[in-house]
Amino acid sequence: MGASLVVALYQEARSNACTTCVLGNIDAGWGPVDVTYDNASGHLYVLDGGPGLTGSSAWGVSVINGSTDTVVAFYHLPNRPAYLTYDSRNGDLYISMFCSDEVLVLNASTGAIAATIPTSTTGLCEGPGPIAYNPNTGSIELEYSTPNVLLTINGNVITQSVPLSVNTQVPPAVNPVTGQVYVVTAGKYLFNSFNLTTVNGSTGAVESSIFLWGNPSTLMFDPTKDRVYAGATVEGFVQGTVVWNGTVYLVSGNGTTVLGQPRVGETPTRIAVDSANGNIYVSNYYASNLSVINGSIGEIAGSVPVDSNPASVVFDGRNRCLYTLFYAQAGTNGAQSDGYVSVVEPPGGDCVAPPTPLSALLATIAGPTALVALAVVVLVLWARRVRRGPRP
């Protein structure tokens, strides 16, 4: 039996048997803070903005090939970055820079800086924040903290500024069909409330705003169901004890109606959607798992245990794998902080892991004994050949 056939059969059996598993980890720098995905190439771009013990040498973008699950490039950045997004029109990465009051435009294929877009200078490290690509208008939507505005970038020029009390800890979501931009703005109460505000991507006009309970943490738009998902942690009391319940609001695409509110783990950080089956995947920071929501009925369908404190989740429709981002802080013993991406197979999914070398396959199937037996067979055959001498 050929080695490739053995590997294929083993992976098929493993895929059918494994319904909730982490297939492996990929190094992602010292302090990853954000991740974006290119559907066309299957590349993930992980932004490293953590100071760690490596200082500025860690700042940059790790490029992960989703077909091989390997880091294929690292692009160093001159300043500390905060957020990034990918522009599928021109293949550029737009990166908001922490403290330097600018947006860098990076060629995703070469890592070359194509442009630098200056923004208002505050001098307080409170400038450009979360950023998103709007495929309908071909523009970049950028949240700015001081003052609180939503900026629109076209052709590397800021063309629009909408004054909003945006929450610059929550990246905006974009409707690729209509170009509407969804942002989190301040609620009527100081704590445990927010507004989901819908902005016209072309004119900057506020079209709707709906009040929601909780401390918001993430937004995602699902074009297959014309819904926007808002993740939040809602404070409550149970028998006199304060509890924090993670929830995801399922809101109509026009931003006016709550269609459901499934409960997830505490502090949902990011949301990913599988457009093929409608499943919604939520990374829960303090629950250390991924919640699975059946998008058709808006109810929890299961969860996947992962490592502590998942910061983000991305779904790769090409290989049907989930990629979860982790940032392990530096320990008290002075150890370096570290970051990595876990490759996760969704429950009942068919995530295809990278091909396994034959040696590792044998070790997995039969343990070290198989390798020893194979080595013995090879030595015996070699010894017999030596004893007989070369063929005439």
* Residue 382 pLDDT > 60: no
Contact 264, 272 (CB under 8 A): no
| Boundaries of every domain in the chain | 22-352
Nearest to 148 by CA among 131, 134, 161, 133: 161
Nearest to 276 by CA among 323, 339, 319: 319
What is the mean predicted confidence (pLDDT) over 211-230? 96
Higher pLDDT pick, 112 / 375: 112
pLDDT digits (tens, 9 = 90+) for 275-314: 889 999 999 999 999 999 999 999 999 999 999 999 999 9
Angstrom distances, CA of residue 103 to CA of 82, 140, 312: 10, 11, 22
Whether omega before 128 lies within 30 degrees of 0, making that bond cis, reads: no
Spatial separation of the C-alpha atoms in residues 101 and 104, rounded to whole Å: 10
What is the mean predicted confidence (pLDDT) over 7-20? 41
Angstrom distances, CA of residue 301 to CA of 30, 310, 329, 343, 348: 34, 19, 31, 20, 11
What is the mean predicted confidence (pLDDT) over 158-186? 95
Residue 258, strand partner residues: 251
What is the mean predicted confidence (pLDDT) over 37-49? 93
Q: Give the pLDDT score at 246.
A: 94
Residue 273, strand partner residues: 280
What top-level class would CATH report for the domain 22-352?
mainly beta
Amino acid of residue 146: T
